[in-house]
Amino acid sequence: MRYYLIAGEASGDLHGSMLIRGIRQQDPNAEFRFWGGDLMAEEAGIPVRHYRELAFMGFIEVLLNIFKVLGNIRFCKKDVAQWNPDVVILIDYPGFNFRIAEFAHNKGFKVFYYIAPKVWAWKEGRVKRIQRNVDKLFVIFPFEIDYFKRFQIDAYYTGNPLIDSVAKKIDALPTLEEFKAEHGLDERPILTLLSGSRRQEIAKCLPTMAKLAERFPDFQVVVAGAPSLTISDYNETVGALPVKIIFGKTYELLAFAKAAAVVSGTATLEAALIGTPQVVCYQASPISYYIAKRFIKVRYISLVNLIMDKPVVKELIQHDFTIDKIAQELNELLYDSPARSAMLHEYQLLRTMLGEPGVAYRVGEQMVTELKQLKA
């Protein structure tokens, strides 16, 4: 069968790559066409569009690039119609994918949504678009099952796909000594910075986070470079601060770090599953933050706290996002302390909640089964 997948961000590229493997295990003759990134490309060839062409963050940033966004939507609709897939699989990225869902549904294509839009956090009215245009919904957090039942939507949950990616990476880790030698790191322990995957996030958050190199001279501060960016994007931001940037080694940097400062997003959950104590950071433009604050309904921004429904990790948002407050939190987490031990204990409970490895296989099996039934 023919599968058309659309992922618009780095996390979607990761989940999409694992999903392609899972589908192919169930449907060896599967054909794929996709919007995504380098990880999906490793599984299914050249993307129609790379997510770096799509990743705009915040209300103002989207508005400034609106003509490019609309042009991509028009092209995607045309491409879907011409390729004529058996199913369109949308991966998160709701602003773009909801428009494609409506188009695909109206044209008679089956529509699966993988990684449900976070309508439980804000824009709950979007649930109606899921009811109207999505044939099957596949979620990655256990609490979403009961949430969507309130709207008569049967959501499928087979575990969180990060369980698979983390397990695979951890099994293939080099030793700490090998890693340091390969990347020119010294003997000091590592403090890792995950400053986001978009240029806007880097520009807003990294200048403050990079100052940790001055606050913690006994640690080497290393930034996990996002695959969609270049070394110049980071050098312009960190300036002369003694910070090293390493690309393509996010899981290794988390696994070997004593602690991490992490911009809110999928990376907060990755750090927790790997077992890295963290402080969560976030800063947006004042207008984007003001608008979001008026509409977001949840108490937390990090996935760790949302899933556990309590403040497991400290969140420093907007005005609280200062070098003094970040350093204060890391002073507790970089060394043996009750705060560090408590966080690691909560991480163990979180892993239990999210299920066993094999998620990509299970969700791929479920998608192929459901598609066969829908087309019967």
Question: Six-digit token pair at 195?
Answer: 């400053």
Picking from 167, 355, 330, the residue whose alpha carbon sits closest to that of residue 261 is 330
Q: Which domain holds residue 269?
A: 165-354
Residues in the chain: 376
List the end-to-end C-alpha distance of the chain, in Å, as a whole number.
13
**DSSP secondary structure string for all residues of 102-156:** HHHHHTT-EEEEES---TTTS-GGGHHHHHHH-SEEEESSTHHHHHHHTTT--EE
Structural domains counted in the chain:
2
- DSSP lists the bridge partners of residue 63 as none
Shared domain for 40 and 183, answered yes or no, is no
Phi and psi dihedrals of 122, rounded to 5? -165, 165
Cβ–Cβ under 8 Å, residues 277 and 344 = yes
Beta-ladder partners of 221: 191, 243
Check if the beta carbon of residue 32 is closer than 8 Å to that of residue 45.
yes
Is the whole model's pTM more than 0.85, yes or no? no
What are the beta bridge partners of residue 32?
Answer: 3
- Report d(CA 19, CA 140) in Å as an integer: 12
Q: Residue 218 carries which DSSP code?
A: T
Task: Tell whether 106 and 124 lie within a shared domain.
Answer: yes
Residue 7 CA neighbour count, 13 Å, CB half: 25
Residue 50 DSSP class: B
- What does each of the 376 residues of the chain score in pLDDT, given as a tens digit? 999 999 988 888 989 999 999 999 999 999 999 999 999 999 999 999 998 776 555 555 555 566 677 888 999 999 999 999 999 999 999 989 999 999 999 999 999 999 998 888 778 889 999 999 999 999 999 889 999 999 999 999 999 988 988 988 888 999 999 999 999 999 999 999 999 877 888 888 999 999 999 999 999 999 999 887 889 888 888 888 999 999 999 999 999 999 999 998 889 999 999 999 999 998 866 666 555 555 556 678 899 999 999 999 999 998 899 999 999 999 999 999 999 999 999 999 999 989 888 998 999 999 999 999 988 7
The two structure tokens encoding residue 18: 């694992």
Task: Assess whether 150 and 286 both reside in one domain.
Answer: no
Q: Give pLDDT, residue 290.
A: 56
Q: Are residues 178 and 325 in the same domain?
A: yes
Kindly state whether residues 141 and 173 are assigned to the same domain: no
> Residues 209, 128: one domain?
no
